[in-house]
Structure formats: C-alpha cells, structure tokens
Amino acid sequence: MNNKTLPLNYANGLMLELEKAFYDERGKGARFRTTTVGRSYFREHCLPRIASSEISGILPALEKALCEDGIVASLTYSQEERLLRVRVDGCVHRPVEEAMVAHGVEPFTCIPANLVVLALEEKLDRPVELAEIKVEDGACALLLAVFDHRPTLA
C-alpha cells in the first residue's frame, strides 16, 4: 500500500470537476444529493470527540477536530432562535467553492457544513437544513435552520 499523500490542489481539482459535472447534470437539485458527503469522516474522526448534547459544546468540539486535522483554521457561530450562522475560515476546500462561483454556480455543497449538520442531527436528534452557503471575505458563511425535536411514536 502506498502511504504517499496527494497534493491538495489535485484533490480540490477533482472535487471541483465532480461538483461541476454533478451540477451540470442536476442543477440546483444537486444540493439535496450531497448532504451526507463526509459521513464516514464524521463517524471516525469527529463524533468520538463530541461529548456534549448542546450546540455550545458540539460546535467547539467539531471546530477542534477540524482544526487539528488541518481542514479549517476556525469555525465560529452565532444563533438566533432556529437560525444558526456559521463562519468557516481557512477551509482547505474553499478554492473549490470560489472556482464554482467563478463558473457562475452558486455554492451548493460544503464539507464542513455537512459535518456541522451531521453533528447537530446526531447529538441533538433534531433535523437541520443547510439553507445557504456564501463565499465572502475569504471565508464561507453558512446559514442553517435547526428545527424542533423529531416526533416520537408512543
């Protein structure tokens, strides 16, 4: 087995081509097919590091995991009732989103956003939806909606 690591620009170039091809095929509907990308990484590298069942504990633990693995430089957030605004700085995949914007395609997928959604859904047992991704000021600004608890059947 080869332990050589691939250059980041090579991996991001492949991601860009795959995202663009998927968008060309599905248009804005591609957004709903990419929400679980990163699930294996989440289960193996992030979930074991998240002990809290509160947003105030989940997101800092996720940020620490992503920073330690060199995926992001920081992940900050603010919450207004059901709306959660997350800013992702220094993401290794931001060049992919910037290139999509340059191709005239609004960003429709974001691996750190997917990880945030997976963490919140897993630890809160509440549905979460990624409503918006904007590339601004060298970062990705995410808008998520955190819904009420899932109903249980008695």
Determine which helix (DSSP H) or strand (DSSP E) holds 37, and give its type and residue range: none
CB 129 within 8 A of CB 144: yes
| Domains, the chain, with CATH or none | 8-146 (3.30.1380)
Tell me the C-alpha distance between 126 and 103, whole Å: 35
- Point out which residues pair with 79 in neighbouring strands: 84
Burial of 35 (0-12, 13-18, 19+ CB in 10 A): middle
Q: pLDDT above 90 covers what percent of the chain?
A: 81
pTM of this structure: 0.90
Rounded to the nearest integer, the mean pLDDT of the chain is: 93
